[in-house]
Structure 1
Amino acid sequence: MIGQGKSLFYATLIATVSAGICARTSDAGEVGRISGVVESRKGLPISDVSIAIEALGVHTRTSMIGTFLFDTVPAGEYKLLVQRVGYVGLEENVVVGSDGEAMVRLSMEEKSLALTPIVVTGTRTARSTDDSPVWCSVITKEEIASSGLTRLDDLLEEQVGVTVVSDHGFGVQMQGFDPDYTLILIDGDPVIGRTAGTLNLSRIELSNIDQVEIVKGPTSSLYGNEALAGVINLISREPVEPLRINLDSRIGTFGTIDIGAGFEIRAGKSATSVNLHRKRSAGYDLLPKTVSPTTPEFVDYTLSAKHQYYVSPETNLGASVRIFYESQNSQSEVRENGEMRRLDNRAKQSDWSLTLNARKRIGPNLKLSGKVYSSSFARRTRLRNSDTDLLFSDSDYDQRYLKGESQLQILPGGAHILTFGIGAIREHVEANRIAGSSQSTRSGFLFAEEEWVPTDWLDLAISARADLHSEYANRVSPKAAVLIRPFEWLGLRGSLGGGFRAPDFKQIYLDFTNATAGYSVFGSTTVSEGIARLDKEGQIRAILKDPDNLEVIKAENSIAFNLGLEFVAGFYTTVKFNLFRNQVKDLIESAPVAIKTNGQSVFTYFNVSRVKTEGAEAELTIRPYHGIVLAAGYQFLQTRDEEVLEKLEEGQVVRNSFETRKLERVPVGDYGGLWNRSKHTGTIKLRFRSERTGTTGSLRASIRGSYGYRDRNLNGILDIPEEYLPGYTTWNTFASQDLTQGITLEAGIDNLFDNTQPETVPVLSGRRFYAGILKSF
């Protein structure tokens, strides 16, 4: 299988290079021709517009810069039929005169129905959210701007059905799955660098992001094994302005200073954008009696750049780069030889990514694209004795990722769009917390998708992906989705898909003890040896599960369906409702297997035999006046381990009663499902924008219900009220005012009512103020 991965990788590189071949120009027509350009009402070119000459039965599509051409058109009068997803179709009469040439400029208007944005994540074809058979939520650039938020974790916290959790960084839960199961992409490429399964979303800065697309439910049929819970794809801004310069600065609570600069320029065949941001914070401490701060002081830098070169109207070459660097400083305490020692903690983290891509249109019916994506992530942590400067603990982690991919799209006309792709991935990890210090994998993949629109009210999408991996068995992940729209105001969506997720390096090979907190985590292949070592050192007080009886974890398998309804009452009201169910076999969960003498736990990873997550989401959006949007969302979630339920029904699960101090059987009704999942979550948003006065503002709330936190009676399940944490609500507000000469003033308050839970929810930092100024040239 390693050989297969290499072959696929070389094939992908060859296909990627082939995608950059220049377009051949057709010979001039003998009779005449029709040429032109299609633009939006803002004067920006629109690509992939379908244009047909009804009388001649021929059609074509606009190029990447909005141009089109019909050769060999006899003199006469013709009707052009112009259509594009997300735009109102139009008809244009054109006369080819005696000189044999007609030139036209067409202007298309975006559909007003729910202000439909174009998305590229649910399928491999750009579609409007109204027309896509795969349900895709979109955070538009207008919503990002009106929130005043600058980091991805804060933005996602305010979305329906997305819960931001703190575990080695800020990650997201979707449909009851931990952060490990959600794939984070930037322009379709994965962001790497997870810690304990969590990809810290506070690393991702939003200044150059045009929109964020969220697809919930398994999308392994297009994106592979990390997309079991769904995909979050950040679409960066394309450089379209002839010249634009942005400067911004912001100060806030906890000594926060955020400054940035960026520019974009478009001249001739080239377009370039560059953005640079720096953020500094003194951190905060909600428990001043402890030495360790709740959040350490830090400074980080983000650089992002994108370049496009239009070789011809049919060929485009592109490159993009993203660089992130962060350093943290803090102090902590640890007990050593019966004495408390103070430690200086220093941590550095960096990641970079580079993408090279090429796109080529071959006639009106074929599009070829290819890309090479390379990324690297590194983290260095050093703990030193404050008095002696001697090294107490160190941790190094390096991850490298290389992917090559090619895609061919066939547009045969009529009702079908066919997409085929091939690619290869190489991944390498070096870490002193992994047994053997380094591990590598290689894989190849193939995918195919068929989109079929047989009628105006029916849209079907069927996709499948085959993954060939060097470390586990080959897998095929299928998915089918359908959109039924019997009326323009009513849409019904359904999808059924299967997927898988393989255990990562850490879940198999991890060997780690936190030097300051005192807990230990082992991979499934190292837990037995690790507990034996700790026991020999006298660090184990109790064994909860015999490590010799634990099996090596396996890949997870799932099958899921989503069924949704969308009702749109003109421009003013939109109602969305979605049911979902995920049936997972061999779900990987971390859980304690032993208690240490310091009171901390020893964790490892398990396959929970059969897990089900199911629930419903509802969204209501009202636009009572132009520029005002009121939205509310709610998610109901149920999670359960099917094996635990069977044991409860058979009376095999017991607990120590806190009242009687005696053992008692646990009733089925007391079972609360999987840990750290809230049954009830919701959001409330009010946004407004006045183009006349230049005023923007918002008031938003994120609501999280109670959830299981800690196994206090040590029976391994969530079953008593003392094991729950209370829910909480955070309110945020923001306002900005445009002034003259491109100046904008802004201010906001996060956690408006100063909600805190210092010992259990450290992300609730208390009320935070900020203010800033922006300047555009």
Structure 2
Amino acid sequence: MKIFYIICLLTSFTVFAQTGTIKGTVTDGKQTIPAATVILNPTGRAIAADTDGNYEIKEVSFGTYEIIFSAVGLKTIRKKVTINSTAPVVLNVTLQEDSQALEEVVITGTMKEVSRTDSPIPVEIITPKLFKKNPTPSLFEAVGMINGVQPQLNCNVCNTGDIHINGMEGPYTMILIDGMPIVSSLSTVYGLSGIPNSLVERIEVVKGPASSLYGSEAMGGIINVITKTPYKAPQISADYFVTSWGEHSLDGAVKFKAGKATSLLGLNYFNYNVKADKNHDNFTDVTQQDRISVFNKWNFDRKENRLFSLGARYVYEDRWGGEMQWNKQWRGSDSIYGESIYTRRAELIGLYQLPTTERIFTQFSYNWHDQNSFYGDTPYMATQQVGFLQAYWDKTFAGGHNFLLGAAMRYTHYDDNTPGTADANGNNKPQKTPLPGLFVQDEWKLNDKHTVLGGYRFDYDEHHGGIHSPRVAYKFSPNNNNTLRASFGTGFRVVNLFTEDHAALTGAREVVITEALNPERSYNSNLNYVLKVPTDAVHITFDATGFYSYFTNKIVGDFDSDPTKIIYDNLNGHAISQGVSLNTDLVFTIPLKVMAGISYMDVFQKEDNGIGGKTKVQQLHAPKWSGNFIATYTFPNNFSLDVTGNWYGPMRLPILPNDYRPEYSPWFCIANLQLTKKLDYGLEFYGGVKNVFDFVPKYALMRPFDPFNKTADDPVSNPNGYTFDTAYNYASLQGRRVFLGVRYNLF
């Protein structure tokens, strides 16, 4: 009897374990598509086709599945397939061009590859096709093409800046490269400079807190730069343009194979070495820059199409701005004012899928950032090292549960010469911040119309203790033309005071820290609705989002109490970022495409005024109204015309007591035109005009004739007590300029 039971058990196990194989080729009707994404649902297994567009999914248990095929710029298709035999099932597919680009695969919202329309978290995307419509020398400027994302210059002399999402400053925006927090803290200012555009497959943006997956700093939103898989890249690519202001930008990449590995090597070089002073204040209008960046990414062929990739980047930049007669012999002196910044940066990122039947991934990154700066005669010397290690298990269970369980460890070592890294006695004490965390997420697809997502993360900081970050989201799609998403999440940011606030180092302001700072917290809710309206003449998409974020313990810099100081402390009250945004896409039957967006936001903080009430203060550099527009018309003979631009309403600016400059900026628009001609063999020429309306701020520097404040105390020449100030800024001082460029891609 026992033998009988054993035989039955073994037989049942054998039947249950029977598996088959699905394989085939992905093409676009003309050629194969290397590295196309293939997702097997409901298991959630995702692989990439090889260099010849071939894919193979092995060890698929008997049953019926849905397979999703996708590639950037092509329509995603879904195929049903049944496995009931060990013989391979051959499924060849052809992907068509997607003129509306609505079905891109996204990762950032849930850390899983899903089609954009299936994601319960709203994700916005820009691709190289989009930011080539207004060529820029860095991704810092390119992300401004997304409605609600604002690259903000914070210094009129050194031209460093940060990226605001929904009005929140740069420290609240987490910037990832291939899902790794490679760009954070000190490097946020410079991390998007020098990433070769030729290596970028797409940029994904998630607005609102995402700390339940990504931990500290993901309070305001995430910008994830997805680099190209070497399989997808052309053999050779190059892009060069020059402007009438004397800017030179070169971007290039080459692909090659070495055994079972495919490598993509990229180079980005930017140079601007023409002094311009068109507002006649004896200061450079735009910083002089000399920047070179080298990027190398490797993808390794492995059994079962398991993933293994390595990437490395090195950036060196020498930038300076200041008085027109400044040169490097005056660096650090108090005779001629200049802000000179030497930046060196190295990064390493990797992804490895364990050779197990379960989908278990490990990711790691390391970055080293060294900055040697002088702001006038004020030195700022800083070094930062960040190591990150993460492992997660990606599992699909019966009943439509897509499960994610992971652990992460981030260690930050930061040292500088400011009070931010000094103990109570003024001695140097580098910040060492270990931050371990655990996270879990379940995306439950109830049926074709309803999806629920729940997530939770626990991080532990040695100074602040345990930090909890839950998140919940819901998606309802009654049909293909209507999608409603609702989400609630939390975010946090552990203290790392040095911040990216360069006003703390410029304009002769003293940094004052009044108390031991606590970690910041945020609570966010979003409601997103997408409506597609197909007609005979035009395909219209409306994408509307309402958002509300509540911040506690917000670290604020008080610029107003004392014009000679910046006083940092935790907000004794709360801060709020709230508003709505609307994006529209119009694809006409004629060769015209239009995208436009508008945002309204109210970003402010309320602090106890000491007499039983609260004082409302509007957030600096957060316009209530803003928007963007992109229009492309394609003419016969491969000519196309692009009109792009951003517009902003009044934003509050940091003014001094009795300041003659207005507290709010005017309405303004930065518009651009570009004409492109495509030739055969991957060659194209382009040219146009940036800042067509030649807009530049009316006011820039305060007291540029006395940048070291040597006569600021003279009551006769300076009765209002003004001091040199570089922080009053809302747009670049660079006016209208013409540009010409050439691109080449050899496939």
**TM-score band w.r.t. shorter chain:** 0.7 to 0.9
2: CA distance, partners of 1:28 / 1:372: 39
Is structure 2 residue 711 aligned with structure 1 residue 767?
A: no
Q: Deviations over 1:637-677 (max 9, x none)?
A: 11233346997x96x97xxxxxxxxxxxxxxxxx6622322
1: CA distance, partners of 2:628 / 2:469: 33
Pairs within 5 Å for 1:433-582: 433=418, 434-435=421-422, 436=428, 438-506=430-498, 514=505, 517-522=507-512, 524=513, 550-570=514-534, 572-582=539-549
State the SS of the aligned residue for 1:642: strand
Q: Deviations over 1:486-510 (max 9, x none)?
A: 12100111001122222214269x9
Question: 1:108 offset after TM fit, Å?
Answer: 5.1
Is structure 2 residue 107 aligned with structure 1 residue 163?
A: no
State the SS of the aligned residue for 2:468: strand
The counterpart of 2:629, out of the listed 657, 680, 684, is 684
1:63/1:610 CA distance change after superposition, 3 Å: closer
The counterpart of 1:353, out of the listed 344, 347, 353, is 347
1:87/1:233 CA distance change after superposition, 3 Å: same
Is structure 2 residue 669 aligned with structure 1 residue 729?
A: yes
Q: AA paired with 1:613?
A: S
Q: Deviations over 1:47-93 (max 9, x none)?
A: 443279xxxxxx895644420235898xxxx9875445873222468
1:141/1:259 CA distance change after superposition, 3 Å: closer
2: CA distance, partners of 1:763 / 1:30: 64
Q: Deviations over 1:284-312 (max 9, x none)?
A: 54465444313221110011111011221
**Given that residues 241 and 264 in structure 1 are in contact (C-alpha distance below 8 angstroms), is that contact kept between their aligned partners in structure 2?**
no
Pairs within 5 Å for 1:322-721: 322-332=313-323, 341-343=335-337, 346-360=340-354, 362-363=356-357, 366-382=358-374, 392-433=377-418, 434-435=421-422, 436=428, 438-506=430-498, 514=505, 517-522=507-512, 524=513, 550-570=514-534, 572-592=539-559, 595=562, 600-625=564-589, 627-643=591-607, 673-689=618-634, 693-711=637-655
1:496/1:420 CA distance change after superposition, 3 Å: same
1:241/1:194 CA distance change after superposition, 3 Å: closer
Residue 19 of structure 1 is matched in structure 2 by none
Question: 1:174 offset after TM fit, Å?
Answer: 1.5
1:371/1:640 CA distance change after superposition, 3 Å: closer
Residue 207 of structure 1 is matched in structure 2 by 198
Q: Deviations over 1:658-710 (max 9, x none)?
A: xxxxxxxxxxxxx66223221111112102457x7333431012011011113
**Given that residues 636 and 680 in structure 1 are in contact (C-alpha distance below 8 angstroms), is that contact kept between their aligned partners in structure 2?**
yes
**Given that residues 195 and 295 in structure 2 are in contact (C-alpha distance below 8 angstroms), is that contact kept between their aligned partners in structure 1?**
no
Residue 225 of structure 2 is matched in structure 1 by 234
The counterpart of 1:182, out of the listed 158, 173, 184, is 173
Q: AA paired with 2:603?
A: T
Question: 1:726 offset after TM fit, Å?
Answer: 1.2
2: CA distance, partners of 1:519 / 1:263: 47
1:348/1:193 CA distance change after superposition, 3 Å: farther
State the SS of the aligned residue for 1:240: helix
State the SS of the aligned residue for 1:506: coil
Q: Higher mean Cα deviation, 451-460 or 467-476?
A: 467-476
How high is the TM-score relative to the length of structure 2? 0.82
Pairs within 5 Å for 1:276-295: 276-282=267-273, 284-286=275-277, 289-295=280-286
Question: 1:114 offset after TM fit, Å?
Answer: 5.1
**Given that residues 28 and 71 in structure 1 are in contact (C-alpha distance below 8 angstroms), is that contact kept between their aligned partners in structure 2?**
no
How high is the TM-score relative to the length of structure 1? 0.79
Q: Deviations over 1:86-114 (max 9, x none)?
A: 73222468997xxx844524215469575
2: CA distance, partners of 1:592 / 1:32: 67
Question: 1:454 offset after TM fit, Å?
Answer: 1.0
Question: 1:160 offset after TM fit, Å?
Answer: 0.8
**Given that residues 40 and 46 in structure 1 are in contact (C-alpha distance below 8 angstroms), is that contact kept between their aligned partners in structure 2?**
no
Q: AA paired with 1:629?
A: K
1: CA distance, partners of 2:44 / 2:294: 39
**Given that residues 512 and 520 in structure 1 are in contact (C-alpha distance below 8 angstroms), is that contact kept between their aligned partners in structure 2?**
no
1:681/1:318 CA distance change after superposition, 3 Å: same
Residue 319 of structure 1 is matched in structure 2 by 310
2: CA distance, partners of 1:422 / 1:615: 34
Question: 1:711 offset after TM fit, Å?
Answer: 4.6
Residue 713 of structure 2 is matched in structure 1 by none
The counterpart of 1:752, out of the listed 665, 689, 692, is 692
2: CA distance, partners of 1:708 / 1:34: 61
Note the aligned Cα RMSD (angstroms). Answer: 3.6
Residue 726 of structure 2 is matched in structure 1 by none
2: CA distance, partners of 1:312 / 1:393: 56
Residue 111 of structure 2 is matched in structure 1 by 124
Question: 1:576 offset after TM fit, Å?
Answer: 1.1
Question: 1:462 offset after TM fit, Å?
Answer: 0.9
The counterpart of 1:151, out of the listed 133, 138, 141, is 138
1: CA distance, partners of 2:669 / 2:550: 30
**Given that residues 82 and 91 in structure 1 are in contact (C-alpha distance below 8 angstroms), is that contact kept between their aligned partners in structure 2?**
yes
State the SS of the aligned residue for 2:495: coil
2: CA distance, partners of 1:301 / 1:177: 30
1:264/1:567 CA distance change after superposition, 3 Å: same
The counterpart of 1:107, out of the listed 80, 87, 93, is 93
The counterpart of 1:246, out of the listed 230, 237, 240, is 237
1: CA distance, partners of 2:163 / 2:233: 38
Q: AA paired with 1:373?
A: S
Question: 1:625 offset after TM fit, Å?
Answer: 2.6
Residue 264 of structure 2 is matched in structure 1 by 273
2: CA distance, partners of 1:606 / 1:704: 29
**Given that residues 352 and 377 in structure 1 are in contact (C-alpha distance below 8 angstroms), is that contact kept between their aligned partners in structure 2?**
yes
1:81/1:361 CA distance change after superposition, 3 Å: farther
1:409/1:31 CA distance change after superposition, 3 Å: closer
Question: 1:157 offset after TM fit, Å?
Answer: 2.0
1:454/1:397 CA distance change after superposition, 3 Å: same
Residue 40 of structure 2 is matched in structure 1 by 50
1:409/1:674 CA distance change after superposition, 3 Å: same
Residue 725 of structure 2 is matched in structure 1 by none
**Given that residues 424 and 444 in structure 1 are in contact (C-alpha distance below 8 angstroms), is that contact kept between their aligned partners in structure 2?**
yes
1: CA distance, partners of 2:502 / 2:297: 39
1:186/1:731 CA distance change after superposition, 3 Å: same
State the SS of the aligned residue for 1:380: strand
State the SS of the aligned residue for 1:753: coil
Q: Deviations over 1:173-216 (max 9, x none)?
A: 22231111010111111244645985564454422111111100
**Given that residues 283 and 296 in structure 1 are in contact (C-alpha distance below 8 angstroms), is that contact kept between their aligned partners in structure 2?**
no
State the SS of the aligned residue for 1:724: coil
Q: Deviations over 1:546-587 (max 9, x none)?
A: xxxx44332122211001111012371100111111111122
Q: Higher mean Cα deviation, 315-324 or 754-763?
A: 754-763
1: CA distance, partners of 2:77 / 2:686: 36
5+ long unaligned stretches in structure 1: 1-26, 53-58, 385-391, 525-549, 654-670
State the SS of the aligned residue for 1:142: helix
Residue 528 of structure 1 is matched in structure 2 by none
1:381/1:201 CA distance change after superposition, 3 Å: same
Question: 1:744 offset after TM fit, Å?
Answer: 1.4
2: CA distance, partners of 1:346 / 1:610: 36
State the SS of the aligned residue for 1:693: helix
